[in-house]
Amino acid sequence: MTFYRGAIAAALALQFIAVGPAALAADAASGKNKAQTCLACHGEGGRSVNPFVPSLAGQPPLYVYYQLLQFRDERRKNPIMSPVAVGMKDADMRDMAAYFAQEKPAPVSPASNPELVKAGEKIAQVFHCASCHMPDYSGQNHIARLAGQQRDYLALQLRGFKTGSRPDIDGTMASAAQPLSDQDIDSMAGYLSSFE
């Protein structure tokens, strides 16, 4: 990973200049109160311990906000999460997104299978995953943080993008997932979930 170090520093510096639409007003403190009902599933501070529930801690605020819009407006569907988003107000979404963004991501557990990690690292290079998700996989703007995310959840989402059962907003992830084989997806999920 040393190969990336310089690039990470440069990329982080860039992240603050290159934000997209002017940040919409949000109140993280009030978001914390509003988000209390979420923690039963998403974990303390948004650090999930459930393999099929994603961590939200450290996600870019625009990513969480946009996903909540996607659920509320019934473009992204899930039998557990969709009912939670019904009737949610834009301002509440932005507040909760601001709260989760400032929470520290969960400590990453070491990879159970180093072979997967090696394979995943290679795939990520071939398909430029880090170009959008950032070299440290912390995400940017509307693009998700992937580092340390739940492994089973990641694999499920990648399969969803590939088959279209998880629609993405602008089509980039659908096309990013097309060339991935089943095996590639498992490797990527292993690699990213153990990424520090």
Partner 1 sequence: MSAISKRGSLAFLILATSASAVLAQATASPMIPPSWAQGRVEGSTSNLAPHPPGMSALPGAEIPLSKIKLPKGFEIALWAEGMPNAREMVIGPKGTVFASTRFVGNVYAVVEKDGKREVKIIAKGLNKPNGVVIKNGSLYVAELSRIIRYDDIENHLDNPPAPVVVFDKLPKDEAHGWKFMKLGPDGKLYFNIGSPGNIVMPPYTHAQIARVDPEKGILETVARGVRNSVGMDFHPVSKELWFTNNGRDWIDDSLPNDTLHRVSRKDMNFGFPFCHQGDLLDPEFGQGRSCAEFDPPAAKLGPHVAALGMRFYTGKMFPAEYGNNIFIAEHGSWNRSKKSGYNITRVTLDKNTKVKKLEVFAEGWLDGEKFWGRPADVQVMKDGSMLVSDDVAGAIYRISYKK
- Out of 37, 44, 75, 108, the only residue in the binding site for partner 1 (CB under 8 A) is 75
Is residue 142 within 8 Å of 60, Cβ to Cβ?
Answer: yes
Select 45 or 63, whichever has its Cβ closest to partner 1. Answer: 63
Q: Give min distance, CB of 77 to ligand HEC, in A.
A: 8
- Out of 22, 80, 87, 107, the only residue in the binding site for partner 1 (CB under 8 A) is 22
Number of neighbours of residue 31 by Cβ within 10 angstroms: 23
- Out of 7, 9, 40, 49, the only residue in the binding site for partner 1 (CB under 8 A) is 7
Is 179 near partner 1 (CB under 8 A)?
A: yes
Is 107 near partner 1 (CB under 8 A)?
A: no
Number of neighbours of residue 38 by Cβ within 10 angstroms: 17
Sign of the CA dihedral running 62, 35, 67, 127: positive
Is 69 near partner 1 (CB under 8 A)?
A: yes
Is 55 near partner 1 (CB under 8 A)?
A: no
* Residue-wise DSSP of 85-131: HTT--HHHHHHHHHHHHHSPPPPPPPPS-HHHHHHHHHHHHHTTHHH
Q: Which two tokens stand for residue 9?
A: 């520093």
Q: Give min distance, CB of 157 to ligand HEC, in A.
A: 4
Q: What are phi and psi of 195, to 5 degrees?
A: -75, 130
Considering CB distances under 5 to 8 angstroms, the limit depending on partner class, which of partner 1, ligand HEC, none binds residue 81?
A: ligand HEC
Between CA 7 and CA 12, with CA 10 as vertex, the angle to 5 degrees is 105
Select 75 or 104, whichever has its Cβ closest to partner 1. Answer: 75
**Residue ranges binding partner 1 (CB under 8 A):** 7, 10-11, 14, 17-22, 24-25, 62, 65-66, 69, 73-75, 90, 127-128, 130-132, 134-135, 140-143, 169-172, 174-176, 178-179
